[in-house]
Structure 1
Amino acid sequence: MTAFTTHVLDAATGTPAAGVDVTLHRLDDGTWRTVGAATTDDDGRCRDLGLASTVVGTYRLTFATGPWFAAQGRATFFPEVVVTVELADPARAHHHVPLLLSPFAYSTYRGS
């Protein structure tokens, strides 16, 4: 199983957000290092961001929402959404970070 997954839903239309580019970074000695990337599938999911396991530390998911909205001919206030998380439990093998998205708002939570 992959260490990080996400699910992006378009809250304005009630549909999965297919085609959103997502990049995963880890903070190493004050520098953000890319550790994975993927594009949401037809169900709005990234099932594998390319990281097999995690260590204690800070991670950042960057969702390229501006290009995604532009491709649909829709305006947005947020050209990207950045979600930063702190992992304190190395025993937890999987981390799911869903994003509920609309052109002028978003929300996220720690999923299961």
Structure 2
Amino acid sequence: MSQITTHILDTTLGKPAQGVVISLHQQNGNEWSKLAEGKTNADGRIPDLLDTGLTVPTGIYKMRFEVQAYFDLLEVQAFYPFVEIVFNITSGEHYHVPLLLNPFGYSTYRGS
């Protein structure tokens, strides 16, 4: 399993959000470097965002969720074209960063 994982649940539909492009970035000073990118599967997950066994160094990271295309496909007007979640990696343990999404709001938490 990737050290950093995520999933998206569309809380309006009560279903996983399939086909959302997600990218992972690492902060370097005032710049961001893209480390990985993938697309959510039918379960709203990207199981292999990072190579299994790869441990990223401590630091600040962000996941960018490109949600506009998802809502466009559903023909739903949405307020947020993308969502960025910034978080701090402090150890080599597993980090799960889920996104609970609807057209006019979102929520996140550190999962397990």
The TM-score, its normalising length taken from structure 1, stands at 0.93
- Listed as ranges, the matches of 1:36-51 within 5 Å are 36-51=36-51
Deviations 1:84-108 (A, max 9, x none): 00112x232x111010000001000
Number of aligned positions between the proteins: 110
Deviations 1:56-104 (A, max 9, x none): 100000000111101111110000000000112x232x11101000000
1:65 aligned partner:
67
Aligned-residue CA RMSD in angstroms?
A: 1.1
Q: Does the aligned pair in 1 maintain the 2:55–2:92 contact within 8 Å? A: no
Structure 1 spans left out of the alignment, 5+ residues: none
Identity of aligned residues (%): 39
Query: 1:31 and 1:41 mapped to 2: Cα distance?
Result: 29
1:78 aligns with 2:99: no
Runs of 4+ in structure 1 over 4 Å off: none
Report the alpha carbon displacement of residue 3 of structure 1 after superposing the two structures with TM.
1.5
Structure 2 spans left out of the alignment, 5+ residues: none
What amino acid maps onto 2:105 in structure 1?
A
Query: 2:59 and 2:47 mapped to 1: Cα distance?
Result: 21
- Listed as ranges, the matches of 1:1-112 within 5 Å are 1-51=1-51, 52-88=54-90, 90-92=91-93, 94-112=94-112
